Structure 1
């Protein structure tokens, strides 16, 4: 994928009814910002898997609808105009809590390569649906490959990160041998400096 995406580029994960809205640079070292649209019954964070981002704070601004956030096991429903910040390392997931669509703006600070990470994952659901269960859960080898290549971006909650890193490092080469590939590879060098342009 180009490091520049057209304003309003949309990628939909049909499994968890979540659409990402990208624009501007995919690579920005300061902040990663994009839009998310959750359909009725839609969830964020990979089918509402409880997860952590160990090296970045995540900020959510609800633009429309109602969204349920569960952070460290505590649930809150946020209406349009409200916001939630999840500090790095805190377990969380979010889901649509209303009857219609909900729209959010999501940002990560620092950016790391979260735009590439999410664009990669949703592109895989579109291009390689056979790598996911009927419920949308990715094959364990695919999880290992993605989370190993994008290390320190996201991990499953409840399992020590050092153990996940060790397991994913062992399984990632097996995943490649089995034919799994990333749709968008991480950069091997630092992202470019900040520039305006975000999801809208």
Structure 2
């Protein structure tokens, strides 16, 4: 990997594949988590069955919080470095060649466990609108960093959780309760026109084949 692959800024852009390849890859960078994501295979290429993406996680990088994917399985295959996982309350360190599987609905988190960037292949099944979630989360992180706020805006977070309730949920709380709260608050925000800032950050599900 080149140094360019580990730059710390955040962007959503197109990056050429290997010479002669006909497609471009979407690149997503998150300054708060230290994640750099390269989309390899999108939902539209697999009939919605799979989103395959490479994750490069900087030293000290970690997913912002524990979470679960209600309907999706995630598979993490370590290509370089070491990753610390917590899956369903069990902790493990994964090294090169190991695959960690997170079943649907399982609370999990992960972090770089070494001094070098970690390179991971992630497969998300089904794809749903996970790519838009990753892009929107990065846009929100950039806005949060620019405003020098330690936490995301609560209203933006509620709108985010409502938009992506099939893709992600908060851990441990009853799903029905979380959906009730997020749907109620996001509905009131939209009714009163308080969602304009979030809508500017929200990335459309360009690659989603169904909702």
Q: Is TM > 0.5 for Structure 1 vs Structure 2?
A: yes
Task: Please state how far the C-alpha of 1:124 moved relative to its aligned partner.
Answer: 2.8
If the length of structure 1 is used for normalisation, what is the TM-score? 0.81
Unaligned runs of 5+ in 1: 193-200
- The aligned runs of 1:99-110 (5 Å cut-off) are 99-110=115-126
- Aligned position for 1:31: 50
If the length of structure 2 is used for normalisation, what is the TM-score? 0.77
Task: Please state how far the C-alpha of 1:72 moved relative to its aligned partner.
Answer: 1.2
- 3-state SS of the aligned residue for 2:60? coil
Task: Please state how far the C-alpha of 1:138 moved relative to its aligned partner.
Answer: 2.0
Aligned equivalents of 1:161, 1:130: Cα separation in 2: 32
CA deviations on 1:39-78 (whole Å, 9 max, x unpaired) are 110012xx1x111101011110111000001011110000
The structure with more helix, counted as a fraction of residues: 2
Which stretch of the first structure deviates more once superposed, 18-27 or 29-38?
Answer: 18-27
- 3-state SS of the aligned residue for 2:132? helix
Does the CA-based 8 Å contact 1:18-1:36 persist in structure 2?
yes
- Aligned position for 1:164: 178
Task: Please state how far the C-alpha of 1:162 moved relative to its aligned partner.
Answer: 0.6
- Aligned position for 1:112: 128
- 3-state SS of the aligned residue for 1:52? coil
Relative to structure 1, the CA distance from residue 115 to residue 157 in structure 2 (aligned partners, 3 Å threshold; closer, same or farther) is same
- 3-state SS of the aligned residue for 2:133? helix
Moved over 4 A (4+): none
CA deviations on 1:19-48 (whole Å, 9 max, x unpaired) are 11124545440101111111110012xx1x
Task: Please state how far the C-alpha of 1:18 moved relative to its aligned partner.
Answer: 1.2
Does the CA-based 8 Å contact 2:74-2:103 persist in structure 1?
yes
Q: How many residues align?
A: 183
- Aligned position for 1:196: none
- Aligned position for 1:184: 203
- Aligned position for 2:6: none
Relative contact order, CA 8 A, sep 6+: which one is greater? 1
Does the CA-based 8 Å contact 2:57-2:117 persist in structure 1?
yes
Aligned equivalents of 1:98, 1:110: Cα separation in 2: 30
Does the CA-based 8 Å contact 2:85-2:110 persist in structure 1?
yes
Aligned equivalents of 1:159, 1:132: Cα separation in 2: 29
Relative to structure 1, the CA distance from residue 12 to residue 35 in structure 2 (aligned partners, 3 Å threshold; closer, same or farther) is same
Task: Please state how far the C-alpha of 1:157 moved relative to its aligned partner.
Answer: 0.4
Aligned equivalents of 2:96, 2:179: Cα separation in 1: 37
Task: Please state how far the C-alpha of 1:87 moved relative to its aligned partner.
Answer: 0.3
